[in-house]
């Protein structure tokens, strides 16, 4: 009985061992397949990732190439001079550079700040890519006192810049009184200059009329050129509008000096003496017409004369 049971036990153990061996072998095969599947999936994923990176780089490159062809409109403020002023009339020179790829036009600046008033702006007509040019801003500074700093806001199209300027004030203690006296003197000077400006304008108009009249009457005015006189008068008008007493006075003095010289030469101009030959040349058409009329009259006379002879002979017959 023992042997039989022992044999059965051995058979059972053998069966268990065989089953374990088979299970272990199947597990190893399954593990290898899983590892191989994992490796394949990883390689596939790496390959797909590299393909995606290449595609993304290509797309990015195309997008970069496309963006370089898009027109860019941009500019920067490169210079602001001067930056130190006395109270009164001032001029700012604002340098702008075109940093875009398209041409800019009509670049003007709107400048504001405490105590500053703009009364004229000269814009940049055209600014090509890469070029620099100046916007001119004329105005008046009424703040300052004993001196100080004013922060200006500069708006050019849709962009805003800021610039600090130093204002040199009057001497301390009596600055307001001196400023008021200076303004009164300036107003009085401008009143006198207004009368002088009106006078020189009348002189210019009268001179132009006289010059035109003498030109039509054949006076020798070939060496008389009123262009400088005209420019001096225009400069005086412009300076007066800007309340620039000194420049207005200079321009009026230059205009008066030019007028005196031109008027003297115009008064001394003589009538151009014309020869008989020049008269004949100038009236060639009229003379030809008169000659033709005379010839026509003689021809008519001869025709009438011949007709009268013919009538007399016919009557006698």
3-state helix/strand/coil string of 211-245:
HHHHHHCCECCCCCCCHHHHHHHHHHHHHHHCCCH
pLDDT of residue 38: 43
Q: Which residues of the chain have pLDDT under 70?
A: 1-68, 143-147, 169-180, 274-287, 303-317
Q: Are residues 300 and 254 in the same domain?
A: no
Q: Are residues 85 and 161 in the same domain?
A: yes
E strands present in 28-158: 75-81, 84-86, 88-98, 104-107, 109-112, 116-122, 124-127, 132-141, 148-156
Q: Are residues 179 and 160 in the same domain?
A: no
User: Which phi and psi angles does 68 have, rounded to 5°?
Assistant: -65, -20
Whole-structure pTM value: 0.38
**272 assigned to some structural domain:** no
**273 assigned to some structural domain:** no
Q: Are residues 123 and 182 in the same domain?
A: no
**49 assigned to some structural domain:** yes
SS3 (DSSP) at 269: coil
Long-range contacts of 232-240 (CB under 8 A, 24+ apart): 232/258, 233/200, 233/201, 233/204, 236/197, 236/200, 237/197, 237/201, 240/190, 240/193, 240/194, 240/197
Domain that holds residue 188: 175-267
Q: How many domains would you assign to the chain?
A: 4
Q: Are residues 149 and 201 in the same domain?
A: no
**Beta-carbon-side half-sphere exposure of residue 127 (alpha carbons within 13 Å):** 23
pLDDT of residue 40: 46
Q: Are residues 199 and 148 in the same domain?
A: no
Q: Are residues 42 and 28 in the same domain?
A: yes
**35 assigned to some structural domain:** yes
SS3 (DSSP) at 286: helix
From 168, 192, 212, give the residue that closes a domain: 168
**113 assigned to some structural domain:** yes
Q: Are residues 164 and 202 in the same domain?
A: no
Q: If you write DSSP's letter for every residue of 149-191 in order, what string do you get?
A: EEEEEEEETTEEEEEEEEEE-PPTTSHHHHHHHHHHHHHHHHH
pLDDT of residue 124: 93
**How confident is the model over 14-48, as pLDDT tens digits?**
666 655 555 555 555 544 444 444 444 445 544 55
From 136, 168, 200, give the residue that closes a domain: 168
**192 assigned to some structural domain:** yes
């Amino acid at each position: 009985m023992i042997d039989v049971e022992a044999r059965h036990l051995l058979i059972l153990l053998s069966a268990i061992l065989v089953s374990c061996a088979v299970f272990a072998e199947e597990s190893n095969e399954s593990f290898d397949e899983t590892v191989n599947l994992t490796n394949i999936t990883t390689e596939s994923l790496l390959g797909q990732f590299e393909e995606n990176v290449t595609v993304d780089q290509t797309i990015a490159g195309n997008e970069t190439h496309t963006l370089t062809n898009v027109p860019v409109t941009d500019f920067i403020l490169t210079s602001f001079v001067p930056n130190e002023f006395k109270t009164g009339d001032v001029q700012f020179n604002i340098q702008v550079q075109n940093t875009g790829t398209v041409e800019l036009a009509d670049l003007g600046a709107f400048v504001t700040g405490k105590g500053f008033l703009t009364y004229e702006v000269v814009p940049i007509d055209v600014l090509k890519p890469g070029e620099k040019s100046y916007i001119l801003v004329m105005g008046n500074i009424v703040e300052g006192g004993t001196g100080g700093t004013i922060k200006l806001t500069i708006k050019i199209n849709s962009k805003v810049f800021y610039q600090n300027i130093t204002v040199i004030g009057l001497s301390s203690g009596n600055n307001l009184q001196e400023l008021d006296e200076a303004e009164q003197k300036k107003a009085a000077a401008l009143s006198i200059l207004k009368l002088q400006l009106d006078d020189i304008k009348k002189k210019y108009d009268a001179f132009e009329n006289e010059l035109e009249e003498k030109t039509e009457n054949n006076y020798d005015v070939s060496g008389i050129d009123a262009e400088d006189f005209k420019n001096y008068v225009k400069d005086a008008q412009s300076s007066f509008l800007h309340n620039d007493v000194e420049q207005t006075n200079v321009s009026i003095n230059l205009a008066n000096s030019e007028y005196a010289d031109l008027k003297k030469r115009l008064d001394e101009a003589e009538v151009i003496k014309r020869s008989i030959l020049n008269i004949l040349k100038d009236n060639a058409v009229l003379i030809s017409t008169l000659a033709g009329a005379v010839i026509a009259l003689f021809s008519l006379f001869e025709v009438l004369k011949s007709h009268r002879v013919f009538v007399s002979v016919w009557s006698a017959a």
